């Protein structure tokens, strides 16, 4: 399955570097953490036009409230989480937290934002209505990397880099319920939850991607490029896209068979984060170079 650029790379104002990317398919928006410029990047998913940037801090994590369309940002070393109105291109609220913030997730059922302490031992919990910190989840080890929510089971899956494991958090009690060991992975990094197949997809920097059931059973393994960073799952079309080692890698997932690499394209060496638009199947990726920062859209032929 060829992965083809839709247009030439589009330059993003201000050199600074990127982190996580996400797509709001319903509202046709792409959001990228443009941490080096201390801003949230907002892009029209249909036209590809850059709509603007909202200054929030050296952000890393980004999550969308599906009800309002507002965007939550985890603001790195500024030790805060913000709410952004992407239509008005304005920061609405911000709350301070005790540590640096990396990845974040939004639990729509409880109305809570879950924010990873970068290289730390906590997930900070913020009430999105009052925008106050209401608690912290204590994690095993340190260096939480990525997290995903299983809404049906009321569980959160949290990668733990230094222990090669996934901590399973009870979203009702905000406590670690159990641990899924991932011994074949080194320094767990990307993690996605496929709600259709009820699978946890987790990768390590050593070029391995493992598929686990939500109960913690190892189902399948796959060799992938080393040092993949962000992956994004399109559960409807059973595709997983990953960025790292100068490549975008597209993987076909399956309910019972081993996943397979079905597409790959060489990209800029600095490209390590991306997101899939589940409505169109296109991939959005961002990267930084000494000559500037860029965003580009890729289609699947």
Apex 149 CA angle, 143 and 153, nearest 5:
125
Question: Which residues, 6 or more positions from 238, have their beta carbon under 8 angstroms from its beta carbon?
Answer: 194, 196, 197, 252, 253, 254
Query: Of 176, 101, 95, whose CA–CA distance to 134 is shortest?
Result: 95
Tell me what percent of the chain is helix, strand and coil, each rounded to the nearest 5.
Answer: 0, 55, 40
pLDDT range class, residue 65, cuts 50, 70, 90:
very high
In this structure, are residues 145 and 159 in contact, taking their beta carbons and an 8 Å threshold? yes
Q: Tens digit of pLDDT for each residue in 182-209?
A: 999 999 999 999 999 999 999 999 999 9
| Chain segment 223-243, per-residue pLDDT in tens | 999 999 999 999 999 999 999
Q: How many CB atoms lie within 10 A of CB 81?
A: 29
Q: What is the CATH number of the domain that holds 116?
A: 2.130.10.10
- Per-residue pLDDT at 26: 98
Supply the pLDDT for residue 301. 81
User: Between the CA of residue 37 and those of 60, 211, 292, what are the distances in Å?
Assistant: 11, 35, 12
* pLDDT tens-digit readout, 89-115: 999 999 999 999 999 999 999 999 999
Q: Is the pLDDT of residue 14 over 90?
A: no
Domain extent for 180 = 3-300
Count structural domains, the chain: 1
pTM equals: 0.97
Which residue has tokens 């999105």?
Answer: 128
Mind listing the pLDDT tens digit for each residue in 143-174? Answer: 999 999 999 999 999 999 999 999 999 999 99
Structure tokens at 241: 């896209």
């Amino acid at each position: 399955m060829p992965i083809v650029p839709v247009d030439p790379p589009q330059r993003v104002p201000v050199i600074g570097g990127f982190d996580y990317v996400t797509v709001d398919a319903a509202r046709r928006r792409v959001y990228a953490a443009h941490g080096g410029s201390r801003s949230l990047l907002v892009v029209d998913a249909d036209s590809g036009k850059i709509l603007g940037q909202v200054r929030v801090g050296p952000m890393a994590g980004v999550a969308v409230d599906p009800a309002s369309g507002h965007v939550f940002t985890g603001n790195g070393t500024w030790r805060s989480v913000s709410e952004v109105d992407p239509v008005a291109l304005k920061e609405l609220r911000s709350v301070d937290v005790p540590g640096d913030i990396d990845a974040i997730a939004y639990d729509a059922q409880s109305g809570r934002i879950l924010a990873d302490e970068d290289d730390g031992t906590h997930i900070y919990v913020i009430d999105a209505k009052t925008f106050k910190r209401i608690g912290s989840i204590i994690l095993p080890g340190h260096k939480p990397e990525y997290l995903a929510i299983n809404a049906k089971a009321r569980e959160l899956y949290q990668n733990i880099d230094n222990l090669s494991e996934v901590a399973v958090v009870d979203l009702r009690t905000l406590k670690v319920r159990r641990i899924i060991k991932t011994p074949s992975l080194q320094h767990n990094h990307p993690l996605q939850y496929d709600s259709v197949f009820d699978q946890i997809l987790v990768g390590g920097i050593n070029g391995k991607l493992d598929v686990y059931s939500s109960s913690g059973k190892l189902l399948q393994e796959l060799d992938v490029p080393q040092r993949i960073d962000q992956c994004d799952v399109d559960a409807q079309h059973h595709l997983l896209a990953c960025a790292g080692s100068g490549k975008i890698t597209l993987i076909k997932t399956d309910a019972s068979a081993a996943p397979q690499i079905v597409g790959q394209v060489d990209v800029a060496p600095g490209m390590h984060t991306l997101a899939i638009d589940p409505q169109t199947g296109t991939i959005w990726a961002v990267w930084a170079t000494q000559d500037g920062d860029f965003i580009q859209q890729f289609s699947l032929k």
